[in-house]
Structure 1
């Protein structure tokens, strides 16, 4: 396979958040090195990395003072690029993004939770799990989840908050399905009821015709109720 064809990794040096851009790039390269390029040597993998890193990355590389052995170690490249982008990160901005992330109407809880876990990594909080827990309480789109979490009080853990949200979302989906099925059943019942209102024209095993007009005597005359 030509490892340079297709969607190969590309570092975005113009990104506002270089830390996130680097993480995405590094993860992409790791997939390539574990997949199509798994059989290549580590030295060759370093060369591929330097091809994908772009001109800006190669300029940064030229400032390093690496031994010949280190030039063949992929982890050395990862560590040095990580050190370069880290000082460029802004904790205040990272925390702003994290604290501003609320669950939108179109978000499933899993999508919301994944974003929170990614965003909190660059915030530098001493207790990131507590921050994710609090973000779920404040940012959930379902007030019943928030109410349940607040009721739990100081006993609320991240795991409990996640379970509350997942359970409530699942219950809503199940209830929606049940309501839809109930509507279908009711419609079928109404159709069956209308069908039963039509007579088959038989009563007690004999054919009969529904009588029209006032009742008549044996002579075909209507009885006189005034006499």
Structure 2
């Protein structure tokens, strides 16, 4: 039930057998929980109340898992300890080499927008364990290698100096926006009017001598 107009996160139900997917889903849910606790001012409540709120929002599956944890009574009332126990359960150590393989294999799919492609890359990179100073370069390299437009790739190569991640992203966004503008404009560009009887354009169809319709052409507007 929403409190103060704020809707809490739904129960966390793990239905995936993929460790990396489970890890990402849990991280997202836990982030939603933290936001909810801050927004409803429950983050300042006692540790015991915070744990009870966490278990309530997790639902039956989470409560059943909680009962299996080897925690002392004091640890069961400590919110950070409980959150870590769930994180260890839902987010076991993933194989970094496999996660990086998936990241480096990702290409922009047909009809996939650049924003969706970028979001997918940002999601995949979260489980690759790149150092902070490596992450931006890895993401930029994957964008350049994975975008579907060869023209955009050439435009990136033609950027002066050594462009950073933000410059590459902005160029890709501008290029996609330009393509969309041109596509929209083409929809409103009318073809030359033709006589629906003889097939000639307005310039070539001589209405007074059109032999197809009683010496009068009927132009398609």
TM > 0.5:
yes
**Cα pair distance change 1:110/1:2, threshold 3 Å:** closer
TM-aligned CA deviation for residue 74 of structure 1: 3.1
TM-aligned CA deviation for residue 124 of structure 1: 1.1
Question: Residue 75 of structure 1: which of 67, 74, 80 is its match?
Answer: 80
CA distance in 2, matches of 1:143, 1:153: 18
Larger deviation, residues 83-92 vs 168-177: 83-92
1:223 matched to which residue of 2? Answer: none
Question: Does residue 1:155 correspond to 2:159, yes or no?
Answer: no
CA distance in 2, matches of 1:91, 1:170: 35
* Cα pair 1:91 1:122 within 8 Å, conserved: yes
CA distance in 2, matches of 1:169, 1:145: 9
Unmatched 5+ stretches in structure 1: 200-209, 211-227
TM-aligned CA deviation for residue 15 of structure 1: 3.2
CA distance in 2, matches of 1:6, 1:99: 35
By percentage of residues, which structure has more helix?
1
Question: Residue 29 of structure 1: which of 27, 33, 50 is its match?
Answer: 33
Unmatched 5+ stretches in structure 2: 196-200, 209-214, 216-221
Moved over 6 A (4+): none
Question: Residue 104 of structure 1: which of 106, 109, 113 is its match?
Answer: 109
CA distance in 1, matches of 2:114, 2:124: 15
After superposition, the C-alpha distances for 1:61-81 in whole angstroms (9 at most, x for unaligned) are: x3123626x71x433322333
SS at 1:88 equivalent: coil
Q: Which structure has the bigger radius of gyration? A: 1
In angstroms, what is the RMSD of aligned CA positions? 3.4
CA distance in 2, matches of 1:66, 1:98: 42
**Cα pair distance change 1:75/1:55, threshold 3 Å:** closer
CA distance in 2, matches of 1:123, 1:154: 28
2:218 matched to which residue of 1? Answer: none
1:214 matched to which residue of 2? Answer: none
Count of matched residue positions in the alignment of Structure 1 and Structure 2 = 190
Larger deviation, residues 46-55 vs 136-145: 46-55
After superposition, the C-alpha distances for 1:108-156 in whole angstroms (9 at most, x for unaligned) are: 1011111111111110112111010000000001111111222337602
**Cα pair distance change 1:76/1:154, threshold 3 Å:** farther
CA distance in 2, matches of 1:118, 1:85: 17
